[in-house]
Each structure stands twice: as C-alpha cells, then as structure tokens.
Structure 1
Amino acid sequence: MGRMYDLIVLEPMSSEVGLRTAEHVYEFLRKDIRWAVAGRDIAEMGECVEGLKNMEGVEGRSMPAIEVCASTKEDMQALVRKTKVIINMLDVGDGRGEMVVEACAGNGTHYLDPASDIHWLGGMIRKYHDVAKENKSIILSHVGVESTPQDLLAFCAVQELKNKLNLATKEVVCAINDYSYPPPSPSPSRPSSLRSTSSTSTTSTAPLKSPRHPPLNPWFLSHTQGRTCTASSLTNRLNIRRELTL
C-alpha cells in the first residue's frame, strides 16, 4: 500500500531553519509533490501554510496538508507511516528526537535532521542502525551547516587526491576564518508570518531526554582514529586547534 505523502516537515515553526526548509520545499521541489507540515500546534501549522501561500513569485505549487502530532510514541508511529521521508526540525536533545528516529527506523521511513550533537548521534547509531538497515530506512542526521560542509569538503578532497594523483590522504583540515549566522532581516519578499520564530508551547508532559554519551573520544564516530594534537601552543582553552600554516 502506498503512503499518503512523499514528505513531511515536522515542526517547521520551531526555528528559522525550519521555516526556511518549508519555504525551500514549497519553492524548489517538484510541483506535484505530496507533502505536509506536522506539529503539536495546529494554529502554528496553519500560519506556516498561510505564509507559503503569500510567497511572491511562486505559483502553481502543491500546498502542504496539515498533520497534528502530539508528543507520544503512538502518534509519532502513526505519523511516520504516512510518509516516505520526514525532515525533523525538533530539538533532538529533548527526547522527541529519538522518538522520531525510532519510529522511522522501525517503519522504513527515511529521516533527515539538521542536528549538531554528535554524541546524541552516536547513541542513535548504536541503538537503531540494525533496525533501520533491516527495514531499509535511510537515517541522515546532521544535515546542517555545522556538519555537512566539512563532511563534503573532506570527501571531495580525498577523492581528488586519490583519482588525480593516486595518493592516500593523511589528514584533512577544515579551517573557518569567519563565522556569522544572524537571523535574516525581514524583507518584502518574505511573508510576515514566516519572519519570526515562534515557539511551541504545550501543557503535556515532555518525554525523558535521550541518553547522552561523554565526549571521551573525539573519533568515536569514525572508523579510523585521527591524529591527536598534543602541543599546547597549538590549542586554546576550548581545545580548538590552530594551524599555523593556514
């Protein structure tokens, strides 16, 4: 039996990134995509849809349906069974993030999130990798600016050295000279309902937090162990390494 939706964006009103994700799906994915926005607050989901309707220069696109989903395992299981792919915009550290991963892994639903907590991710891999593999569910976490550019740069650099020079890669250093990510200023082209971040409030009891894992080994997600920089002159108090050659 086919699924009702191709894609669900979960809690798009929880952050600026969530709002931009909904806008991107609406503007750039294929026109006939079957999709929905889902969350605990139906009013916020309605606000999201109205904002999409008011976007300038975007016509003939498929509007999302609205799904109401409470923070229970039963509701989450029912939600993920309706879609092929879910983009989770929740804060993964509050317990609901694991709930979504568990539901997707068990029901063969593909999963994405923009999280930035590798210790949480390590726990999810240990707990749900085999289940997801058995049900042919693809779990892609950390698809965000804090993780994805570095991963793609490292992969491309290794492939370039191997294919063009037949050399193995000893180390890849990704350097950041300047980093700034302020909220965008409101503009006439940006719907007023999508300009501000709105918080989800509920009187329901929050689930228990996901298990966290102490960052004892910075390479615990890697199949190989990287080089540890021991020279104190090259690291600051936050253990951030300085490369004097860059």
Structure 2
Amino acid sequence: MPTYDVLVPGVLGATGFTGRLACEYLANRGGEKVNWAMAGRSLDKLEKIRKELPESAKDTPLVKVDVKNPADLEEAAKSCKVIINYAGTPYSDKALPVVEACVNNGSCYIDITGEVNFVKSSADRYDEKAKEKKSLVVHCCGFDSIPSDIGAFLAATEMKKRHNMGCARIRTVIGDQSGDFSGGTLESGAYMMDNPNMENADAMKKPYGLDPPGGQAGPDTTDFGGIRALGYDQDAESWAMPFVMVEL
C-alpha cells in the first residue's frame, strides 16, 4: 500500500527551481486531500526548502532519493502513487531509471521534459510494461505543452457546451509574458547539442517521431497558417512567430 499520493518524488528534485515551485503549489493547494512528500539527494537541502514553504508544509515528509541509486528509486516508486520528476535535467541522462522504477511497481510518472528523444526512448522501452501494470507515464507536462493542450481542451469543451459542436481548428496565441529559461532548460538544451548521436536523436527531426510503429509518417506542413518565421497573424491581429517547440 503506497505511503504517499504524490512523491516531489512524490516531487523528485524538490530542491531545484521548478521542483520548489511544485512544492509551493502543493503546500498552498494540496491541503489535506493530497498526502505528499518532498524528495531529493540531500535531506539538509530539503529541510531548508521546507522551512521556506508555507506553514501548511511544516510536517511534509522528506525522503532521500538519488536518481542514480536503483535501490532508492525502487523504494520511492513503491512508496507512492505518483512520482513527479523534476530531477531529470537533462532527462536523457537521468530519467529513464525513474520511469522504469515507476512502471515496474505500478506507480504513475509525470515530468516536464521537452526532450523528444527521451520521450521516444521511454515509450520504446516501457510502453508495453506500463499497459500491463496500469502505470500512466505522462511526459512534457510543462510550458511546452500545458498551455496549448489545456487551452485546446477548455476551448473545445466550451464550444460543445455553448454551441453543441466541435472545433475544426484551435490556435493558441501567447502574448506578453514574464520569466526566463530555468537553469535546467538551458542544461537540457546544451546536453542535446553536445550529444548529437544520443539514443533516438533523430526523433527530434521528425514531425511524427513519437508516433507508434505503423503510425503516420512522411513530410508535414506547418500548423501556423503558412507562417514559418515572423509574420502577421490575422486571427491575433498582430505580428507573431511559431513557438520554438512547435515543430516537435
């Protein structure tokens, strides 16, 4: 029986930039409904972060987990229903053992990777076992995907509710925003550039690189109204350009 609902493993990588944000969110929003724990390599660092969180997190359990230690990962995966992995950057180098531990133990796995080659490797290795174990493995739950995916879902749901019809096409336009690249994002990008021959590197060059065997293949056309670079968008009534990850 799992000890925790969420391990942040239940947030893995809790002392990193994004892991800390996840802990703050769970502390503010999780309440008594979510039994979660903070995880990372250093209990001292975890304790320091916990002291900086809202009062509601003062008794949140701390779990020592080193992603390079198989025994730690096995114990972590057994102890929770879901591991949210923020300790992957670069995921291509660190995260496959975390996915494997979750799948082997029937736990679910979530991360914020944008590394397409890693997602391909994860699917190739663990898809069948995940189905057998009923383990959900959900990659790319970050800025690369969430605004567009959730936005499209909400738009389609509202269209159905208001007009009883579906959407032929949904476009997401992002305006002014604040923030910057995190260190993990920059590290992942540098790793991919320094390792052009890593496993499944060619998946990043194929529009359907993540499709299962027998899925769609071949050349693709842009989803951005014919605009490949900077151009004027009629719908947004402003100048725009494709999101940097759109081809992936």
Q: Relative contact order (alpha carbons < 8 A, sep ≥ 6): 1 or 2 greater?
A: 1
Match of 1:13 among 12, 15, 20: 15
Q: Please, which runs of 5 or more residues in structure 2 have no aligned partner?
A: 185-197, 237-248
CA contact (8 A) 2:85 2:111 kept: yes
Match of 1:81 among 72, 78, 82: 78
Letter of the 1:69 counterpart: D
Matched, 1:72 2:61: no
CA contact (8 A) 2:203 2:209 kept: no
The DSSP-based 3-state class of the residue aligned with 1:69 is coil
CA distance in 1, matches of 2:14, 2:140: 16
Residues 89 and 210 of structure 1: is their aligned pair in 2 closer, same or farther, counting only changes over 3 Å? farther
Q: Please, which runs of 5 or more residues in structure 1 have no aligned partner?
A: 185-195, 198-208
Alignment-derived partner of residue 245 in structure 2: none
Alignment-derived partner of residue 111 in structure 1: 109
CA distance in 1, matches of 2:225, 2:231: 9
The DSSP-based 3-state class of the residue aligned with 1:102 is helix
Q: 1:115 Cα deviation (Å)?
A: 1.5
- Identity across the alignment (%): 24
Q: Once superposed, what is the RMSD of the aligned Cα atoms?
A: 3.6
The DSSP-based 3-state class of the residue aligned with 1:95 is helix
Match of 2:167 among 149, 166, 169: 169
CA distance in 1, matches of 2:160, 2:223: 29
Q: Which moved more, 1:62-71 or 1:141-150?
A: 62-71
CA contact (8 A) 1:123 1:212 kept: no
TM-score of the superposed pair, with normalisation by structure 1: 0.70
CA distance in 2, matches of 1:139, 1:227: 27
Residues 59 and 216 of structure 1: is their aligned pair in 2 closer, same or farther, counting only changes over 3 Å? closer
Alignment-derived partner of residue 176 in structure 2: 178
Alignment-derived partner of residue 62 in structure 1: 59
The DSSP-based 3-state class of the residue aligned with 1:13 is coil
Match of 1:245 among 226, 235, 238: 235
Residues 72 and 235 of structure 1: is their aligned pair in 2 closer, same or farther, counting only changes over 3 Å? same
CA contact (8 A) 2:67 2:94 kept: no
Matched, 1:215 2:204: yes
Matched, 1:125 2:123: yes
Matched, 1:235 2:221: no
Matched, 1:4 2:6: no
Structure 1 runs of 4+ with >6 Å offset:
222-227, 230-233
Q: Which has the higher helix share?
A: 2
Paired residue total:
215
